[in-house]
Amino acid sequence: MIFKQIEHMGKRLLVRILGFFLKQEKLTPKDVDLSCIRRILVIRQDDRIGNLILTTPLLSALRRLFPMAQVSYLASKTFHTLFHNSTLVDQIFVAKKRQYIFHPLSLVSFIRKIRKQTFDLAFDASDENNFSLNNSFLAHLSGAKYRIGYEKPNSSLFLNLEVPPSPLRRHAAEMHLDLLRFLVGNFEGDDIRIEVDTEKRDRVEEYLNQKNVSTDDFLIGINVGGRGKKRWDLENFTQLADWITDSFDSKVIFIWGPEEKSMIKGITLKNEERQILSDLFPLPVLAALTERCNLFITGDTGAMHLSAAVGTPTLALFLNSDPAKFGPQGKAHKIIYPSDGKIPVEIVKKEIKKIMKSRIQVKERTQ
């Protein structure tokens, strides 16, 4: 907490200082020569995996509209592996924020490495309602001729193409796509997607075989994570898992992340033949595991975005966030969003029953 407070104070001071020195020439889309765009940098060095996943439609659109361009991504050390071996990006730059605080010269070396690429276009892909000094400043330091992002307080210090925030309520993926639409005009965006490596699929299959889960088993993933008020009670998840394995011919795997390391100690497997507590996996393996699940039950978490992005039918429980902006898109997914911020277990059971009835291969178990 103290570190965060010091970080915020330092950022506010830095913005004030930079305000005396940075003056950007303001450009409009008419000033941009799209035919000369050969190197593109997308910046979202965020410690929340979902925010990176939500930028994938932008990456797909860049691939489609600038097929000859090299697309690079600047991500944080925490989740940069999300795009390893991805066809959406050609190169990944890994920002190590805390290292730069204690070793400033390493930041200088990092910036030099980026500037050597001579980028033509850089995207500050932060949220339209929240100014990110890290993303905006890195866009400026990249040396890109065109630096685009949403118009926010202080963004004019770093960007020369500012996009007015939209008054319309829309999905976060559309928010990122609108940055590109500002330059090239309207177009249809692709779905949110993450590619799964074949080797990671094989690793997951081997792991599940060791847990007595065959390829024919109907596997339901339950992610117990969530930040603060977004988190459904662990007791609710375990109660739901017990009901599922008692009611249906299926198996349940509890999935968790580093932040849930202490919490999962409270999970007791009632039926060890049908319930599994997963290991803690690297992100590319986690993507393969969520892809293997036939259904994924989760709060508004990074794992929710990952599940939907790999095409797994997802039942998302939204307790304290906006499903219109962050919910999984598509008919395969279902969102439960209560008006009072509470989701009883019985409501979730009803939705699961509906899902199970639509899947002939899942039989109700006889008691």
Q: Which of these, 114, 105, 165, lies nearest to 137 by C-alpha position?
A: 114
- Give domain limits for the chain: 21-184, 198-357
154: left (phi over 0), alpha (psi -120 to 50) or beta: left
| 3-state SS assignment for residue 74 | strand
Q: How far is 169 from 323, CA to CA, in rounded Å?
A: 11
Give the H/E segment covering residue 299: strand 295-299
Instruction: For residues 245-256, give the mean pLDDT.
Output: 95
Nearest-angstrom CA–CA distance, 319 and 29: 40
Residues listed for the chain: 367
> How far does CA 155 lie from the centroid of its chain?
23
**Which tens digits make up the pLDDT trace of 276-335?**
999 999 999 999 999 999 999 999 999 999 999 999 999 999 998 999 999 999 999 999
What the block records as the tokens of 236 is 């609710």
Model pTM score:
0.89
The dihedrals phi and psi of 82, each to the nearest 5 degrees, come to: -55, -35
What are the pLDDT digits (tens) for 21-39?
Answer: 566 678 999 999 999 999 9
Q: Rounded to an integer, what distance in angstroms lies between the CA atom of residue 159 and that of residue 32?
A: 14
What's the pLDDT at 2?
A: 54
pLDDT exceeds cutoff 60 at 10 = no
Instruction: Please give the average per-residue pLDDT across 157-162, as a whole number.
Output: 93
Taking CA atoms, 320 is separated from 172, 229, 271, 339, in Å, by: 16, 6, 31, 10
Question: Of 226, 170, 222, 198, which Cα lies nearest the Cα of 57?
Answer: 170
The reply to whether CATH 1.10.287.130 applies to domain 198-357 is no
Same fold, 21-184 and 198-357: yes
Q: List C-alpha distances in Å: 327 to 45, 61, 307.
A: 21, 21, 12
* 21-184 CATH pick, 3.40.50.150, 3.20.20.70, 3.40.50.2000, 1.20.200.10: 3.40.50.2000
Residue 8 has what pLDDT? 58
- Confidence (pLDDT) at 134: 87
